[in-house]
Each structure stands twice: as structure tokens, then as C-alpha cells.
Structure 1
Amino acid sequence: MTPIQYCYEKVKESKSNFTWTFYFISKNRRDALVSLYAFCREIDDIVDNTIDLEVATAKINWWKNEINRLFHETPQHPVTKSLLKFIGTYELNEAYFIEMLDGMEMDLKFNRYESFKQLQLYCYRVAGVVGILCVKILGFKNQGTLKFAHDLGIALQLTNIIRDVGEDARKNRIYIPLDELHQFNVSENDILRFQENKNVSNLLIYQIERAENFYKSAYEKIPKEDINSQIPGLLMGKIYETLLLEIKRDQPEQTLNRKVILPPFRKMLVIFKCFFKNKFYALSS
């Protein structure tokens, strides 16, 4: 199995919404995005699948050394071997990969966040940075597109947090800022015991509205000349934004006890609507 084949298998196993955007880009850019996403999956798996903190920390440190080897053109892992051919072509900075690993370290060190300021740093590291690297791979002309990527990445991560609030609680993780739990008279035990009540509903609506504002900010920041190249990111954004609206419409506190998903036909409808809307806008005067 070649390094790029390994990456495609890794992405296929994840069953991610990410794969829905593959049909809208060239093979070389698709291979680069798949390699990047496979890297994300590798380091995510450390947090998700490694129980022993020392072992997980050692694995993160190994990947930091591997990134150093990657940027000295001596990678050892199939994912980094696949990434090697793209880091120069698309000017992928080493610091961004280290930021992602720092985000994974935050998951190892913290299972609570005191404030949104702390949580936003986490969201930037695990999602905003990924968005910026994707923009670089897809191509852009205007620096404002990097700001689009930053805000969209945070919006996507906030949506994940809202969708997975119950799943995370089962792992003794609460990503909603603790000062906001206090603001809405919600205790940690309300989350950890999956209590569906009005206070939890209000708390989650507040989180949803924040995510909506990040989506709005992202779409406002993308320059018209880069819409065509950034169609995959816009499609991903609309899929997750639609999921967020589904959660908002259907009693958000239920995410404590069930995971809301969009069926494939809904995703297809969102993709086609978003694709043609943005294509038309990009081509208009």
C-alpha cells in the first residue's frame, strides 16, 4: 500500500462529511486534502483511543518529532510521507502542524474549560488551523480568505461540541465553558447525568447562537474572487450549519441523549443548493 492509499483508507474509515467535497477539486488538491485529513485522524485517534496519559503524551511527542522530520524531508509515517510532496507546493507551514498537536495536548490535559477564551484557543488549534491549511491547498488570492477559514473552522468545531455534548459527557468531558454553565444555572452534574431541562436548553441555544455568528462572520469575510476555489469549504460549512439548525429546531437539550445526524439525501440537497448558489454568485458581475 502506498502512502496516499493509506491516507485514503484512513479517511474512508472515518466516514466524515469531509469526503462529500472531494468531487469538486482536482486530483492533486484532493490528494493533498486527504493527506492532511488523514494526519488529523491519526492525532485525533491518540486522544480517542489511548487510555494511559503517559502513552498518549509520548505519542503526541513522537508526532511532533515526525513533523520535524517531515520538514527536513525524512518522514517515517505513511501520512507524512504522503504530505511531503505537498508542503512545498501549497506552502504548508510547520507551525500549523505543531498547533494542531498542541490542540491534542489540550485534550489530554483538560476535560473542562473555564471560559470561552480558553475554548476558542482549543477550537483554533484543532479546527481553525485545519481550515487555514485547507485554504492554502485549495488556493486563494486574497488574504481575507484566511480569516474566512479561521472563523469557519471555529464554527465547525463549535457545532461538533454541541452535537457531541452527550457523547463527551460519557467520557467525563464538558467543552461548554464552565462560567456559562453557571450563567444559565446549569451544574456539571446536569450535563454528566444527561438532564434535559429548560436551563440546559437555554445554555445550548446560547452555544448555537455563538456558532451561528461564526458561520455568518466566515461567509461575510470570504472575498468574491476566492469563492470558486473555496467551494469545498463552503459546502462543508453549509452541511454543518444545516446540522446545527436541525439541533436548534429539535429541542437542543436532546443532544445529551442522542446524536443528531443528517441523512445522505439531506446532505446532497444542501451540497447542490450551496454549489449552484455560490457558482452563480462567483460568476455574476
Structure 2
Amino acid sequence: MMSQNGKAESIGIDGLDIEDISLGFEKDSGEPIDTIRSRVSLTRDATRAISITALETLREGAKFMGVVGLRGNLKNPFGHIDASIWKEGELPARMIAASYEYCEELTRIEAANFYHSFKYLPQEVRQSICAYYAFCRRADDIADGDYTDLFPGGSENSSESKDYRTEIERIMGEPVLEREAYDDKMSQLFYYRKKLSTAYTTVTSTDPIFIALKDTVERFRIPRSLLDDMISGMEDDLHRDRFETFEDLYEYCYKVASTVGLVCIEIYGYNAPEAKDEAEAWGIYMQLINILRDVLEDSARGRIYLPLDELHRYGISDQDVLDGAGLLHHPGWEGFCRSYIKRAKSYGRTARGLLGHLDRQSRYSPAAMMAFYDSILKKIGKSDGDVFSERVQLSKPEKISLAAWVYFRYRFLPI
């Protein structure tokens, strides 16, 4: 978290064994954007490290107390620490367990529907899925919300943060946000990417999400490129608010959604190579539904995620979309929605092939998510594309009955 004067805002801890270490980003103009992003790392020479021994000497009011506060709110067990990494290469099992508990509680609070589908997973799988969800959730909160991530020693005014933003902007073009908001969010995502690097090195972050994520990626051998791509999708969102073609939209959907499916199957476990194509389609399917459902909300922010060339084919202009609810009565909207829904369904059919390639114990989780999204898409279709009168969602009885059917179908019956 950065202050107005560019200094990191965090709670200081006097008298602890803290040393300086380094952040790794070297400006090298002219490189491809993926190379620039993948080189972001956290190394031992210019941020702050704390030893576990020092942590254990803290006073009762500051020491590790668990993940749920006195009023039931989520509490970062290491949030009081004014350091970005631990000196030690390996952490005690109890600290890793506390980090997983934090991620699971965050998932339960922030995503009740998803968490319901996770509850029936084997413990190790459930914990890792929650760790990954927490990673994705916080990245999205930074890029698309008002969440401020904490990185002791980080500053949007640091030369490396500025250099990184300059390189990304050189390639991606002007941001679609106001400059102050853009600099803040890009800086946070830059340091978030640094935290991610610790999951793949001997350095360990003090952020419980990345402690749990480090254990997860080591356990399930998850490629860093999939997690880097997700952050890249969030960064891309700061640079564009229109998509000319479906191919442009697909690239965005792959980064923010297909990568999620591809990571999840590494945790679930799968038995056929085609599962990767099916997981990619799963992400596209769900993101296409999100985009259609959220047209009104996005248009209010000046964003259009629907492919412009296809909208124009139905006589729908950018301004028609930005006008909001009036789009429902546009003569081309119903036809556009039919075409859009048809395409989404084709990805859904491919995605459902994934279920037969997953372990039976893990199958319920993606099956439930697919079923929920199937129902949302069906509601949109039946209403001739009315995503304006009210938010399209399932009622609690609908969710319960659907979840029960899916659980029985995919846990006990052959596919």
C-alpha cells in the first residue's frame, strides 16, 4: 500500500531482525510484452525480510492470532508485519496451514456460490483451489475495485515501478483510466506480480495468499505462465475498453478465465490431454456469459466487451450500448443475443467433455459451476436478452435444487 509521498504505509515493528533485500525489474526497451511481464521477480537485495524467530517474539497484541477477528471479519494473520518476505526458505507447517485457512475463509466470504462447489472436494484439493481463488480474487479487486494491496517497501514512484509502467504503456498504448488511478493500479499489479514470483523461487512472501499459493504450485506443478497471464489480463483491462472482434475478445477471455480452468484441472487432476482444450473452453464459456449478463453494469463505466464488429452487423452502435437499458428495445439486440448465445453454448458443449476426464471426487465442483452458468444463460435466452430489468441470477431454491441434482449426477452416476 503506497502513501501520498510514495512511501509504503505499514505498521512498523521495532527491534525485529529485519534486513534489506532487492526487487528485480530491469528496464530493457524493445522486448515483447510477455517477456517484460515474466521478468518481474522478487530477489534478496532491496526490500525487507523478517525472520520467523522474530515473529514469535512479538507482543501478544501483534503476534499471529488466526484468520478471523473478534467480530468475525477476515484477518490477515501476518498483516502487522512490516516486511515483504521471510528470511527463512521454508516455513513451519502451522504457518502454511494458517495461510490456507485464510484463503479458504476469504473464499467463503467473497464467493459463497463457488465455495459451495468447493466444499465437497478432498481437503488438499479444496485448500489449493481456495488458495488459487484468493490469488485471482485479489488481482481482480486491485484492477477492477478499490482494494489496496499491501507490499511493504513498494512505491508507485519507485524507478522500477515507473519503468515497468512505461514499458507496458509503450506496447499497449494509453490507459483508459485517469492517470492517477492507472499509476496506482498498475503499480499494485506490478508488486502483486513480484509476490507471484516468490511461489517459484526460494524466497517466500509474508502474504498468506502467496504462502498458500507457493505450496499449491509446488504440490501440483502449476506453470507460472498461467498465473502471469491472469495478471496480464487485469493489466490489459486498464488499457482497453473496447474489443473490435471476437478474436480480440477471445484473447482477453483466455487470460482472465481460461487460465483459471487450466490451473483448476492441474489441481483437480485429469486423465486425458484433451482436458486442456476443454478447460480452456470452460473458461471462455463462463466469461462470455459474465460479459452478456453484465452489459448494463459495464456500459455505465464506459466499457463494451461485446465484439464491436458483430454489434455493428446488427445495426447496434457503440452509443446504443452505452445508452444502457434502451438497448433491449433495439431491433438488432434480440438477433445479436441469439447469435452470441449460440456461440457461448458451443463452448459450453466442449467444456462439458471435461467432466469425464476428471477424478470423480473432483467432478462435482466444475459440474456445479457449469450447471449454474447453464441456467443463467437459459434465463437470458428466454427473456430475449433482457439483462437490463434486473440482474440475471439464480434464486436460493434454484441453487439448492440444482446443486443437489448435480451432486447426485456427477458423484454417483456414470458420465
TM-score, structure 2 as length reference: 0.65
Matched, 1:239 2:372: yes
1:115 is matched with which residue?
245
Matched, 1:191 2:321: yes
On the 8 A contact 1:148/1:217 being kept in 2, the answer is yes
2:107 is matched with which residue?
11
- For 2:193, give the aligned amino acid: K
1:22 is matched with which residue?
118
1:262 is matched with which residue?
394
Secondary structure class of the residue paired with 1:255: coil
CA distance 1:176–1:16, shift in 2 (3 Å):
farther
1:277 is matched with which residue?
409
2:383 to 222, 246, 250: 250
Pairs within 5 Å for 1:208-247: 208-220=341-353, 222-223=355-356, 226=359, 229-247=362-380
Instruction: Give the deviation of 1:267 after TM superposition.
Output: 1.4
1:134 is matched with which residue?
264
Q: Partners in 2 of 1:223 and 1:144 — Cα distance?
A: 11
Pairs within 5 Å for 1:55-66: 55-66=184-195
Pairs within 5 Å for 1:67-106: 67-73=196-202, 74-106=204-236
CA distance 1:16–1:148, shift in 2 (3 Å):
farther
Q: Partners in 2 of 1:6 and 1:271 — Cα distance?
A: 25
Which one has more relative contact order, counting CA pairs under 8 Å at least 6 apart? 1
Secondary structure class of the residue paired with 2:332: helix
1:45 is matched with which residue?
141
Q: Partners in 1 of 2:286 and 2:103 — Cα distance?
A: 22
Instruction: Give the deviation of 1:57 after TM superposition.
Output: 0.8
* Paired positions, count: 282
Secondary structure class of the residue paired with 2:387: helix
Q: Partners in 1 of 2:368 and 2:354 — Cα distance?
A: 16
Superposed CA deviations along residues 73-126 of structure 1, whole A, max 9, x for unmatched, are 422322111112111211111111101011101111111101000100111111
CA distance 1:148–1:16, shift in 2 (3 Å):
farther
Secondary structure class of the residue paired with 1:89: helix
Q: Partners in 1 of 2:218 and 2:306 — Cα distance?
A: 38
Secondary structure class of the residue paired with 2:391: coil
- For 2:272, give the aligned amino acid: N
2:127 is matched with which residue?
31
1:207 is matched with which residue?
340
- For 1:69, give the aligned amino acid: T
* 82-91 or 199-208: bigger deviation: 199-208
Please say which structure displays the higher CA radius of gyration. 2
Q: Partners in 2 of 1:96 and 1:17 — Cα distance?
A: 24
Q: Partners in 2 of 1:137 and 1:242 — Cα distance?
A: 26
On the 8 A contact 2:269/2:358 being kept in 1, the answer is no
Q: Partners in 1 of 2:221 and 2:338 — Cα distance?
A: 39
On the 8 A contact 1:3/1:82 being kept in 2, the answer is yes
Instruction: Give the deviation of 1:222 after TM superposition.
Output: 4.8
Gaps of 5+ in 1: none
Matched, 1:182 2:312: yes
On the 8 A contact 1:21/1:235 being kept in 2, the answer is yes
Q: Partners in 2 of 1:135 and 1:65 — Cα distance?
A: 25
Instruction: Give the deviation of 1:278 after TM superposition.
Output: 2.9
Instruction: Give the deviation of 1:66 after TM superposition.
Output: 1.2
* 122-131 or 193-202: bigger deviation: 193-202
Normalized per residue, which structure has more helix?
1
The alignment yields a C-alpha RMSD, in angstroms, of 1.8
On the 8 A contact 2:229/2:255 being kept in 1, the answer is yes
Q: Partners in 2 of 1:151 and 1:191 — Cα distance?
A: 26
* 259-268 or 6-15: bigger deviation: 6-15
Superposed CA deviations along residues 29-83 of structure 1, whole A, max 9, x for unmatched, are 1110111001111000112225701111111111111111221142232211111
- For 1:22, give the aligned amino acid: F
Instruction: Give the deviation of 1:228 after TM superposition.
Output: 5.0
Secondary structure class of the residue paired with 1:127: helix
Gaps of 5+ in 2: 1-66, 68-97, 147-176
Superposed CA deviations along residues 197-251 of structure 1, whole A, max 9, x for unmatched, are 2312222222211111110111235545645533311211111111110111123
- Between the two proteins, what is the percent identity of the paired residues? 28
Q: Partners in 1 of 2:410 and 2:104 — Cα distance?
A: 28
